[in-house]
Amino acid sequence: MTEKDIYPEESLKIIQSMINTTKNKLADNGFLLIFWGWLVFISSILNYMLNLLHIEYGYLVWPILMPLGGIFTIIYSKLQNKKTHVITYVDSYLTHLWNAFAIVLVITIFALPFYGIKSSYLCLMLLYGFVTYVAGGLLDFKALKIGAMCSFVCAFISIFVGDSEQLLCLSFAVLGSYIIPGHLLNKAYKSQDNV
């Protein structure tokens, strides 16, 4: 195998091709952004409504729905990985990013009882913003970066509201950082696929 000189224009085309390949995979798997966005959104709203009704154990929606979502995600990801034939550098970076996010998320959730609800929702929104901002940068997808900013704003607002209202902040954070960008990414993928 001989080495070939690559001109800057060719290099940029190769990098853009890798980003587009990964963007298409994430859009196809963007289903997970949409899935988790809606799962957290529904859980937040449900918990908020149960609080309004003064139901003491309304918070139990989380330990019931989140593990079910985790099991579904593991099964779905394993099935998707069997279909993947080409892995780009951007794929690898995103995999490491989302794996690190999952680890930090689990540790944060286990630490919640020690630090109280107020700081826990704040941490979750900051994590959502962080992971979507970096993913948006890697994919050069503006909607993810804007969504991340929405999550950061919601996190900031949550500092000044009560525990129940933080659930509303959390629901708006995932609406902006997961649900809307996930649908836009999926739509972009489908329109590109039809071309």
- pLDDT reported for residue 27: 45
Q: Is residue 94 part of a domain?
A: yes
Give pTM, 2 decimals: 0.79
Average pLDDT over residues 38-62: 93
Q: Is the pLDDT of residue 58 over 90?
A: no
Q: Is residue 130 part of a domain?
A: yes
Q: Which of 124, 128, 129, 93 is nearest to 107 (CA)?
A: 124
Domain count, the chain: 1
Q: Is residue 6 part of a domain?
A: no
Q: Is residue 32 part of a domain?
A: yes
The C-alpha atoms of residue 191 and residue 188 are separated, in whole angstroms, by 5
- pLDDT reported for residue 95: 78
- pLDDT tens digit sequence for 82-112: 775 556 676 777 778 888 888 888 888 777 7
Q: What angle do CA 51, 54, 55 make, to 5 degrees?
A: 85
CB contact at 8 A, 173 and 130:
no
Q: Is residue 12 part of a domain?
A: no
Q: Is residue 2 part of a domain?
A: no
Q: Is residue 39 part of a domain?
A: yes
Structural domain that includes position 165: 18-189
